[in-house]
C-alpha cells in the first residue's frame, strides 16, 4: 500500500521527467553562478562552498514542494487517500519518500561534482555528500507540512517558502557546519549526529502534522 | 447500517440544509435529490468523513464514523466529481493503483478483466489523457467491479456516460443491492433500478 504510493509517484515522475530535471538544473546553475561571479579566488571559494551548496539545495527542494500535494488535490486522488482504510500519515510518508527520491537524491549525487568547482578537498566532498544525504530527507519532511498547510491557497508558492524556510535553518547551520568543521580539522560527527536527530524527529512528527493539515485543507 | 441523525450543513453564513435524517439498511438505495446548490455533494462528502456536519451525527453500525473510521473506510467506496485518476498513467495503472489505495490489491489480469467488462477493451494501455470524458468515467467506475465494499457513495455516477454504459452501471447497482450492498447516490437523470427499497431524500 505504502509501496504503491511510492511506486505511483516514481512512475509519474518518470512520465514527466521535466519536473525532475528543472529542480536538478536549478540546483546546478545556482551553485555554478557563484564561482563565475566571485572569480577564481580559491580560499574564498573554499570557505563559501558549504553554505552555497546548502542554500541552493534548500531552494531547489522548496521549488518542487508546491507539486507534492497540489496535483493530487486537483484530480481528486487526495480525497481518495482520505477515505482509504490506510492511515493517512503512512500515505504522506510514502509521498515524502517519493519526493525525496525524485528531488533529494539527484542533488546528493550531483553535490560532489559541483564541490569540485569550489576546489573542495576530497574528504570535505565526502562530508558534504554525507550531510546532504542525511539532511535532504529532513527538507522533504518539513516541506510536506508547509505544502499541506498551503494546499489550495492562492499564492501558496510564496507562502510555503515563508513558512518552511525558517524551519530549514537548523539543518542549514549543521549541514554547512559539518563541512566547515571538517575543513578546519575539527571533528564533524556531532554535526552529522544532530542532522540525524532532526531526521528521526521529523520522520515521526512531520507525516502526522502534514496529514492533519491535509484533513483541514480538504474540508 | 448507515444512519444520519439531524444533520445540518452550513456554508459561510448560509445554511444549506438542516434536520436531515435517514437510515439505510442492507440492500437498499438512498437517492439524494435536489436542485443545484442544495448541498447534495456536501452531504455525500460528510458521509465520507471528508467534512464535519455543523450539527448531528453519522453512524455506521451504531457507531459514530468519527470513532471507528478505519473499519468504516474499509467498507466504503466513494466516487465523487473528481476522478482521482492520473492523466499520465494508463487506464490499467490507474485502476490498479486506485484499488490498492482503497485496500484491494488486484493483479493485472483482474484489472484487465474489469476494464473489459466496463467496455474499455483495447484501451487498457492508453494513458487516461487520450481517453474521452465518458471513457475516463468508465475507468473510475471500473473500481466498483474490483473493490468488494458494502457501501457505495456515488456522486453523479452517470454523468458523461452513453446509453450503453448507463445500462451497464444500472445493472451493476442492482446486482450490488441484491447481494446486500448499500448505495447512496445523487443523480439528475431518471434512474430505473429494480430494488427492494429505494428511499428518496429531497434537499431544498
What DSSP assignment string belongs to A142-175?
Answer: HHHHHHHHTTT-TTHHHHHHHHHHHHHHHHHHHH
Decide if A76 touches B, using CB distance below 8 A: yes
Give residue ranges of B with CB < 8 Å to any A CB.
48-52, 70-71, 73-74, 76, 78, 80-89, 93, 97-98, 100-103, 105
Of B84, B88, B102, the CB nearest to A76: B84
Cα dihedral across residues B87, B135, B73, B107: positive or negative: negative
CA distance linking residue A50 with residue B123, whole number of Å: 51
Greater confidence (A2 vs B55) lies with B55
Bridge partners, residue B54, by sequence: none
| Cβ atoms B58, B21 nearer than 8 A | no
Give the model confidence (pLDDT) of B23-66 as tens digits.
998 889 999 988 888 889 999 999 998 888 899 999 998 888 88
C-alpha cell at A94: 510514502
pLDDT at B69: 78
CATH superfamily of B1-75+150-204: P-loop containing nucleotide triphosphate hydrolases (3.40.50.300)
Identify the sign of the CA torsion B131, B133, B135, B136.
Answer: positive
Tell me which residue range forms the domain holding A160.
Answer: 2-218
Q: Sheet holding B63-64: strands in order across?
A: B14-24, B2-11, B55-60, B63-64
Q: Do A79 and B78 touch (CB under 8 A)?
A: yes
- Joined together, the cell numbers standing for residue B164 give 450503453
| B101/A86 touch (CB, cutoff 8 Å), yes or no | yes
Q: Residue B29: is it exposed, middle or buried by C-beta count within 10 angstroms (0-12/13-18/19+)?
A: buried
Is B50 in contact with A82 (Cβ distance < 8 A)?
A: yes
Contact A219 B52 (CB under 8 A): yes
Inform me whether the pLDDT recorded for B190 exceeds 80.
no
Residue with cell 518518470: A14
Partners of A85 on chain B (C-beta within 8 Å) are: 70-71, 73-74, 102-103
Q: pLDDT exceeding 70 applies to what percent of chain A? A: 100
pLDDT digits (tens, 9 = 90+) for B100-139: 988 888 899 999 999 999 988 889 899 999 999 999 999 9
Tell me the ipTM for this assembly: 0.89
CA distance B204 to B194: 26
Euclidean distance between CA atoms A81 and A83, whole angstroms: 5
Cell numbers 467506475 label which residue?
A: B141
Q: Which three cell numbers stand for residue B203?
A: 434537499
Residue B68 has pLDDT above 70, yes or no: no
Measured distance CA(B179)–CA(B114) in Å, rounded: 19
A39: alpha, beta or left? (left if phi > 0; alpha if psi -120 to 50): left
Amino acid at each position: 500500500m505504502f509501496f504503491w504510493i511510492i511506486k505511483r509517484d516514481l512512475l509519474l515522475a518518470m512520465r514527466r521527467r521535466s519536473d525532475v530535471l528543472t529542480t536538478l538544473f536549478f540546483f546546478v546553475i545556482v551553485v555554478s553562478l557563484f564561482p563565475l561571479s566571485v572569480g577564481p579566488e580559491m580560499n574564498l571559494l573554499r570557505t563559501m562552498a558549504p553554505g552555497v551548496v546548502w542554500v541552493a539545495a534548500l531552494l531547489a527542494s522548496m521549488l518542487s514542494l508546491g507539486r507534492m500535494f497540489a496535483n493530487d488535490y486537483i484530480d481528486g486522488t487526495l480525497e481518495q487517500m482520505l477515505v482509504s482504510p490506510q492511515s493517512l500519515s503512512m500515505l504522506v510518508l510514502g509521498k515524502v519518500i517519493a519526493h525525496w527520491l525524485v528531488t533529494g537524491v539527484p542533488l546528493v549525487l550531483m553535490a560532489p561534482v559541483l564541490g569540485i568547482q569550489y576546489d573542495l578537498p576530497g574528504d570535505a566532498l565526502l562530508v558534504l555528500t554525507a550531510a546532504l544525504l542525511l539532511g535532504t530527507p529532513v527538507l522533504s519532511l518539513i516541506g510536506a507540512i508547509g505544502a499541506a498547510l498551503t494546499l489550495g491557497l492562492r499564492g501558496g508558492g510564496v507562502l510555503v517558502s515563508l513558512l518552511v524556510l525558517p524551519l530549514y535553518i537548523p539543518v542549514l547551520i549543521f549541514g554547512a557546519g559539518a563541512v566547515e568543521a571538517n575543513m578546519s580539522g575539527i571533528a564533524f560527527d556531532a554535526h552529522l549526529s544532530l542532522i540525524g536527530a532532526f531526521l528521526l524527529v521529523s520522520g515521526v512528527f512531520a507525516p502526522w502534522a502534514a496529514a492533519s493539515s491535509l484533513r483541514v485543507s480538504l474540508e | 447500517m448507515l444512519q444520519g441523525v439531524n444533520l445540518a450543513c452550513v456554508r459561510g453564513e448560509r445554511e444549506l440544509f438542516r434536520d436531515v435524517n435517514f437510515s439505510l439498511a442492507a440492500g437498499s438505495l438512498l437517492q439524494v435529490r435536489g436542485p443545484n446548490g442544495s448541498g447534495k455533494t456536501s452531504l455525500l462528502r460528510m458521509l465520507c468523513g471528508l467534512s464535519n456536519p455543523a450539527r448531528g451525527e453519522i453512524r455506521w453500525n451504531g457507531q459514530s464514523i468519527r470513532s471507528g473510521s478505519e473499519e468504516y473506510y474499509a467498507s466504503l467506496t466513494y466516487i465523487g466529481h473528481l476522478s482521482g485518476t492520473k492523466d499520465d498513467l494508463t487506464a490499467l495503472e490507474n485502476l490498479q493503483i486506485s484499488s490498492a489505495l482503497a485496500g484491494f490489491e488486484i493483479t493485472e489480469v483482474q484489472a484487465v478483466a474489469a476494464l473489459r467488462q466496463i467496455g474499455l477493451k483495447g484501451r487498457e494501455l492508453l494513458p487516461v489523457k487520450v481517453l474521452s470524458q465518458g471513457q475516463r468515467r468508465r475507468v473510475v467506475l471500473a473500481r466498483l467491479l474490483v473493490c468488494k465494499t458494502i457501501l457505495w457513495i456515488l456522486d453523479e455516477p452517470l454523468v458523461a456516460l452513453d446509453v450503453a454504459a448507463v445500462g451497464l452501471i444500472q445493472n451493476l447497482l442492482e446486482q450490488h443491492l441484491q447481494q446486500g450492498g448499500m448505495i447512496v447516490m445523487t443523480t439528475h437523470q431518471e434512474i430505473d433500478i429494480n430494488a427492494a427499497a429505494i428511499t428518496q431524500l429531497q434537499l431544498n
